[in-house]
Structure 1
């Protein structure tokens, strides 16, 4: 089977990047990754970020840029990532008040399109990175995630399917990637183990949420160590015309984050990736 280049979401090793961004890029390259997806600039200037990534021999593939930052200063925020040289900017997460089912959601979809137009003007493709809350049904029966993609033209917004959250939402990740064939340039590889109906999932990604009664457990794991069927996801990514896959692990338990992303890369190498 054809393979794709493998990047890692720097959020996975965010503490390492905060302490020593340049050294962390070197370590990521040594593990066999070919690119990185940024999640913040760690107090560095865009030129410093660009140089550290290039010097490590990595591709500055993409960046998760908070929706609030993009809305507050669209031109200035995008300009930073133009300087770094990313191919993609992903809208990574919506706060509770911005999500489907809230009064803001329809206007937010219009803002996604505006961000997409501004990025396109600057030679960057905008992506939307899902969680599970976009899998709430709209009045017409569509998932909110599909509504976003149905509403905004593909040239302005493409997908970054997060395969963990698709499965958490009860859908088949491979099928969902294939559903957006031709519109799925970057696919997130994320593994997890879940039992029952845990209430701690968003606490684990650093988001404060209302305390829920937890009737189970949830744990992010290195790729190949959890509940996901990655051979089918990887095959679907190739079939869908993806350009890259990106390893992401929001939290590591029982090992360092760097050890976790090493395990993920070794697993993929074992599959011929």
Structure 2
């Protein structure tokens, strides 16, 4: 019993000395709930003890509406899944503005459309062209 107590004390000391890790939920895992009731789902996520969320769609809510809901619940934005097309042309600026208003710093492209997989060289060329066109290259 004594050694178990010492182990627990050592574990607590180690954990207490660590930098706090914030835990968030990827909303894709509850996407059907979000589609039915985004505010209620976010409230349930907050009540479970999560500190942040990663969006996978906004279900018709504006950035301002979502930002208010998140603020009221004490949740932070950990990122957002977006389609590659939202990073091209005129949509890029809209995507940036929306996510800045939401307080989101991270955009994740979870997958690419099949037409971008014209072999590795074709895909790399298309991505390079995107960066050059948008002033990143």
TM-score range, shorter chain: 0.7 to 0.9
1:19-168, aligned counterparts within 5 Å? 19-72=36-89, 73-99=91-117, 101=119, 104-111=122-129, 113=131
Distance 1:25 1:114, change over 3 A: farther
- The SS at the match of 1:24 is helix
Greater percentage in helix = 2
- The SS at the match of 2:88 is helix
Distance 1:93 1:57, change over 3 A: same
1:169-188, aligned counterparts within 5 Å? none
Q: Distance in 2 between matches of 1:116 and 1:4?
A: 34
- Return 5+ residue gaps in structure 1 as ranges: 119-151, 153-273
- The SS at the match of 1:14 is helix
Q: Distance in 1 between matches of 2:62 and 2:135?
A: 25
Per-residue CA deviations over 1:101-130 (Å, capped at 9, x if unaligned) read 256312233156459967xxxxxxxxxxxx
Aligned residues: 119
- Normalised by the length of structure 1, the TM-score is 0.39
Structure 1 residue 47, shift from structure 2 partner: 0.8
Structure 1 residue 20, shift from structure 2 partner: 1.1
Please say which structure displays the higher CA radius of gyration: 2
- Return 5+ residue gaps in structure 2 as ranges: 1-14
Contact 2:88-2:130 within 8 A present in 1 as well: no
Greater percentage in strand = 1
- The SS at the match of 1:61 is strand
1:234-273, aligned counterparts within 5 Å? none
Contact 2:78-2:104 within 8 A present in 1 as well: yes
Q: Distance in 2 between matches of 1:98 and 1:104?
A: 7
Contact 1:70-1:115 within 8 A present in 2 as well: no
Q: Distance in 2 between matches of 1:103 and 1:53?
A: 41
Q: Distance in 2 between matches of 1:114 and 1:74?
A: 13
What corresponds to 1:223 in structure 2? none
